[in-house]
Amino acid sequence: KNEVEQSPQNLTAQEGEFITINCSYSVGISALHWLQQHPGGGIVSLFMLSSGKKKHGRLIATINIQEKHSSLHITASHPRDSAVYICAVRFDNDMRFGAGTRLTVKP
Amino acid sequence: DGGITQSPKYLFRKEGQNVTLSCEQNLNHDAMYWYRQDPGQGLRLIYYSQIVNDFQKGDIAEGYSVSREKKESFPLTVTSAQKNPTAFYLCASSIQHRETQYFGPGTRLLVL
């Protein structure tokens, strides 16, 4: 069983829609990361969270430490947001990665 | 420009052959990592190095080997002992271990 679960696995949206991707984890963590993987395979770090909420442009990430849950929101989605979004958690000396959510935004 | 480079982008391996994937960074990062990505699964750690001339096994080190002779370079060798090498391989680095990791563009390895 993966220690990091993401939902949904796949998500298709129309341009302009509000997107939510969820991440749940099963162990105590020191930090949670949201990563974006482009179709070519390259990965970019979007956020690192240990509590509360962070915002960058149209992206918002929240974390609830007590519930072991994080969400990534995209407002006013655009086709260029199409990518795989990966949740990763750090605990002790290890990083654990979710399987990713494939987002497709149609024009 | 600072960053991480991986080469080649695509690599083909014949049965019984060892192949080496290159990873270079000019970010002056101490720590470097190798991950394997398979469809429908999260990234899995193969090896990591916190400092030059030192490296540690990750979760799936069997069939792989690494070296860290220079700070900027962390090559991964996929040996013939790795029976299922077809995957996407990602290299990453961080200023120090446990800090935010920066990823390379990846190498896709295919078996002929």
Nearest chain A CA: its distance from B19 CA (Å): 20
pLDDT digits (tens, 9 = 90+) for A9-60: 999 999 999 999 999 998 888 899 999 999 888 999 999 999 999 999 999 9
A104 pLDDT higher than 70:
yes
Q: Which residues of A touch B101 (CB under 8 A)?
A: 45, 95
Q: What 3-state DSSP class applies to A98? A: coil
B42 close to A (CB below 8 A): yes
Mean pLDDT score across all residues of chain B: 94
Q: Pairing mode, if any, of strands B10-13 and B107-111?
A: parallel
pLDDT of res. A2: 66
pLDDT 10s digits, B43-92: 999 999 999 999 999 999 999 999 999 999 999 999 998 989 999 999 99
Residues A70-95 have pLDDT tens digits of: 999 999 999 999 999 999 998 877 88
Is B101's CB within 8 Å of A45's CB?
Answer: yes
**Higher pLDDT residue, B108 or A39?**
B108
d(CA A17, CA B71): 45
Q: Which two tokens stand for residue A33?
A: 């990361």
The confidence score (pLDDT) of residue A1 equals 56
pLDDT band at A3 (very low <50, low <70, confident <90, very high): confident
Interface residues from chain A to B (CB-CB < 8 Å)? 2, 4, 30, 33, 35, 40-45, 48, 86, 88, 90, 93-100
From CA B59, how far away is CA A51, in angstroms rounded?
28
Model confidence at B1, pLDDT cuts 50, 70, 90, reads low
pLDDT of residue A25: 95
- Residue B39's φ and ψ, nearest 5 degrees, are -55, 135
pLDDT of residue A97: 95
Taking contacts as CB-CB distances below 8 angstroms, the residues of chain B near A42 are: 103-106
- Chain A positions touching B98 (Cβ under 8 A) are 30, 90, 93
- DSSP conformation letters of A45-67: EEEEESSEEEEETTEEEEEETTT
